[in-house]
Amino acid sequence: MEQWYRQNKILIPWALLGLEVAIAVGIRLYKINSSDQDAHVVPSPTKILLPKLSAFEAADLPYPPDAYPNARDVQSPYGSLRVYEWGPEGGKKVVLVHGISNPCVVLGATAHGLVDKGCRVILFDLPGRGYSETPVSTPHSARLYTTTILLALASSPISWTGNGNKFSLIGYSLGGGIVANFTSHFPTLVSSLILLAPSGLIRAERFTWTNKILYNTGLINETTLEGIIARKLRNGDLPTKPGKPKEEVTPAALVSEELPKEKLGVTPKMAELSRARPGITVPKLVAWQLDAHPGFVKAYMSGIRHGPVAGQHEIWRRIGEMLARQNASSEESYAEEGLQGGKVLMIGGLKDVLIVKDELMEDATEVLGKDHVKFEWVDAGHELPVTKSEEIVGFIWDFWQG
């Protein structure tokens, strides 16, 4: 035995190393297979915060759980999804999808305005925002976001699809990229497509190499990276001078541009985001999510990495081709199955330094076709649904009246 050891002692460390590698690979494959079967879900404030609070304390949160009517938590393999639904059951059906950093509260005023006009609306928190849980082993891509829309619809007490039922989709910022992607795959479910300062076509040169490295490589430990991103989100940065496009898109910019420009010494008139809780304001929401939602930063990072933020030209082009066929057809049934008016309505902010007017008009027209998109503009930045909801509802209603 001693003689065998002397002859093979050089090989033993390599054999042990090979065994170590094999074990590590085996563990990794087990985790991958396990994640396919049961996604690892990080709980939301619904489970980890609300049970500790009295009704009075919950009502005083930056985002009270009863901000909108008929709240429901829809259970799925991807965790629970917070959904709100209200308005006349027979009214025009509308689903609103928010952006990357704030929960559905940012679209609350728009939803209320549409209900005032007789619509039935669905608002929900995307995974990892507000009161929705975070599936961390699942990429937060268009696939997950499409699933969340379908979950919200399927959980409704009334029918939103089938038997001729269709609904309008309104998406803001990241939500614009999400609903455009959904429409490209399920065009017969959607009656109209409305995009508010949408992501999806942000030009590649607007993203710095630093941010590409931060979000797309394993050069930095994930826990360390989450801490870096959390600090950037909490601190934010001041927007550039209104009217001048940002040269780069950063995590802090994506957050700060969704806020009313109070930091600049300007106090814009803000819409009433919740009629049940009129004290809700947007600036406190990101900080609250950082403190109360352990899955928020994970969801934010995954959305940047995998979501429909940029490079969606072929998806949008598919919608343009669908509209071209619709507008060229004389068949009444084909027109009924297509988007209302044969166009996409796009509403942007003249002072938006993230989704810039000239770039959006040029790129959206190129992929959709000049006859298949209608542009409207409000005097605001990227925070337009928070400060210009009445104008937005007016544009939407006029578009529907045709």
Cα–Cα nearest to 83, from 10, 21, 151: 151
Give residue 273's pLDDT band: very low, low, confident or very high (50, 70, 90). very high
Residue 309 in contact with residue 177, Cβ under 8 Å? yes
Residues 6+ apart with CB under 8 A from 299: 126, 127, 128, 129, 134, 140
pLDDT at residue number 402: 83
Residue 126 in contact with residue 151, Cβ under 8 Å? no
For the residues of 261-283, what is the DSSP string, one character each? SGGGT--PPPP-S-SSSTT--GG
Identify the weakest region by mean pLDDT among 14-23, 152-161, 312-321, 346-355. Answer: 14-23
pLDDT at residue number 250: 55
Q: What is the pLDDT of residues 305-317, one digit of tens each?
A: 999 999 999 999 9
Give residue 20's pLDDT band: very low, low, confident or very high (50, 70, 90). very low
Instruction: Give CA–CA dist 196/107, Å, rounded.
Output: 10
User: Residue 120 pLDDT more than 60?
Assistant: yes
What's the rounded mean pLDDT across residues 253-269? 55
pLDDT at residue number 2: 54
Alpha helices (H) along 329-356: 332-337
Instruction: Give CA–CA dist 161/152, Å, rounded.
Output: 12
Most confident of the ranges 25-29, 76-80, 280-284: 76-80
Give residue 103's pLDDT band: very low, low, confident or very high (50, 70, 90). very high
What's the rounded mean pLDDT across residues 181-209? 91
Beta bridge partners of 135: 41
Q: What is the pLDDT of residues 4-13, one digit of tens each?
A: 445 555 444 4
Question: Within the chain, how many helices (H) and strands (E) appear?
Answer: 17, 10
Radius of gyration of the chain (CA): 23
- Residue type at position 53: L
- pTM reported for the whole predicted model: 0.86
Q: Is the dihedral of CA 113, 45, 99, 227 positive or negative?
A: positive
Instruction: Give CA–CA dist 129/125, Å, rounded.
Output: 6
pLDDT at residue number 336: 72
Give residue 263's pLDDT band: very low, low, confident or very high (50, 70, 90). very low
What's the rounded mean pLDDT across residues 230-256? 57
pLDDT at residue number 238: 35
Strand ranges, E, within 105-182: 120-124, 134-135, 167-172
pLDDT at residue number 271: 86
What's the rounded mean pLDDT across residues 89-115? 97
Give residue 326's pLDDT band: very low, low, confident or very high (50, 70, 90). very high
Displacement of CA 39 from its chain's centroid (Å): 20
User: Residue 48 pLDDT more than 80?
Assistant: yes
Tokens matching residue 191: 């009656």
Q: In this prediction, what percent of the chain has a pLDDT beyond 90?
A: 67
pLDDT at residue number 193: 98
User: Residue 349 pLDDT more than 50?
Assistant: yes
Q: Mark residue 342 as left, alpha or beta (left: phi above 0; alpha: psi -120 to 50; beta: remaining).
A: left
Give residue 248's pLDDT band: very low, low, confident or very high (50, 70, 90). low
User: Residue 214 pLDDT more than 90?
Assistant: no
User: Residue 388 pLDDT more than 90?
Assistant: yes
pLDDT at residue number 205: 76
